Amino acid sequence: MSPIQPALYALGAEVAELTARFGRRVEPQALGVLDRAGHLPLAPPGLVSPNRSCRLLRAADGWMALNLARGEDRDLIPAWLGCDVGADPWDLVEAHAADRTCGELVAGAALLGLPAAAVGERAAEGAGPALIRMASGAPRRGALRVVDLSALWAGPMCGAILAAMGAEVLKVESVRRPDLTRLSTPAFFAALNGAKADLPLDLSAPKGQARLVRAIAAADILVTSARPRALPSLGLDPAALFAANPGLVWVAVTGHGWTDPAAQRVAFGDDAAAAGGLVDWTGDGPRFLGDALADPVTGLAAAAGALHGLEAGGGVLVDVSLAGSAARAANLCHLRRAA
């Protein structure tokens, strides 16, 4: 049984109840998207995440997580620590992190775009994602239409649940920066996106951006996984989108929140899980509980938030973050935080 089963059960039950109100009842467990077992090699969790990209490190005043999920992340280590890197960047990180505070390390990582977090830095707030009123709302115009502009796991999982419910889901993918899971874990990509229609676009070109804006204008729900700072490069302006489509429900999946002071920080499932305290506290400190656990709990929370947004009449931005969802899941699982 998954160590976060209480959170998955509670969130899955909420999703099942909500989807039954808008279409077919969806039991998320049946979709095969709550974990990546069998899709990539995973080691037992510990100080190192099962996918081996993230580590829990002791800092001068506590514990932090650093995720070197991308090749460019390793290249940023010398600038982050202010020294040359050796053959193994993790040796350097472990040697220097112990002499610096979590705040210092996380702040420096944020400036460089490194995914890092202090363990337990995010407190649980509210029972679910915040709904931010952006427009007056409007009646639905027929079949439920969704534009899924997200990538990786949590956002596409939200779209998969809506597709299973019966919504028409359009997966928009950049031809220059396609969803990484398409090549890295193709079977998992298919589980997340196989029920969606595809719309590849050159989102760096005005023609592609205009096509995306038209699709959003005709949609009931938009799902994104980009930070706010990335929107101008996609030709998206929140105020303009809601003015053109006042009934839109925009599900904004981010690492640390749309309106949070940390909104521009990069995050992935493992470091965000650590930020929310979704870890096992042992006598020797925190340990990972599983693979990128912030992603599945955020995917479920995003789907529930999307449907709550529809119930509110639309015109809302659903602010759903990996770190915030992890913090709420940690509360549901009654995980003990360090003193």
Tell me how crowded residue 184 is: count the other CB atoms within 10 A of its CB.
12
What is the predicted pLDDT for the residue at 339? 41
Is residue 82, in this structure, part of any structural domain at all? no
Query: Any bridge partners for residue 169, and if so which?
Result: 146
Is residue 38, in this structure, part of any structural domain at all? yes
Which residues of the chain are modeled with pLDDT < 70?
1, 85-86, 336-339
6, amino acid identity: P
What is the predicted pLDDT for the residue at 286? 97
Contact 118, 102 (CB under 8 A): yes
Question: How far lies 148's CA from each of 132, 196, 231, in Å?
Answer: 19, 9, 15
Is residue 18, in this structure, part of any structural domain at all? yes
Task: Dig out the tokens for 220 from the structure.
Answer: 């009931």
Q: How many domains does the chain have?
A: 1
H-helix segments, the chain: 5-22, 71-75, 77-81, 89-97, 102-112, 154-165, 181-184, 186-193, 206-217, 238-244, 269-275, 294-311, 322-332
Q: How far apart are CA 35 and CA 292, in angstroms?
A: 9
CATH label of the domain that carries residue 201: 3.40.50.10540
Is residue 221, in this structure, part of any structural domain at all? yes
Question: How far lies 174's CA from each of 16, 171, 179, 214, 236, in Å?
Answer: 31, 10, 8, 16, 14
* Residue span of the structural domain in which 188 resides: 5-42+126-260+290-332
> How many residues are present in the chain?
339
What is the predicted pLDDT for the residue at 337? 60
Counting Cβ atoms within 10 Å, is residue 43 exposed (0-12), middle (13-18) or buried (19+)?
exposed
Contact 65, 55 (CB under 8 A): yes
Is residue 268, in this structure, part of any structural domain at all? no
Query: Closest by alpha carbon to 225, among 298, 277, 165?
Result: 298
Is residue 217, in this structure, part of any structural domain at all? yes
Is residue 198, in this structure, part of any structural domain at all? yes
Is residue 177, in this structure, part of any structural domain at all? yes
Beta strand pairing status for 145-148 and 168-174?
parallel
In three-state secondary structure terms, 229 is: helix
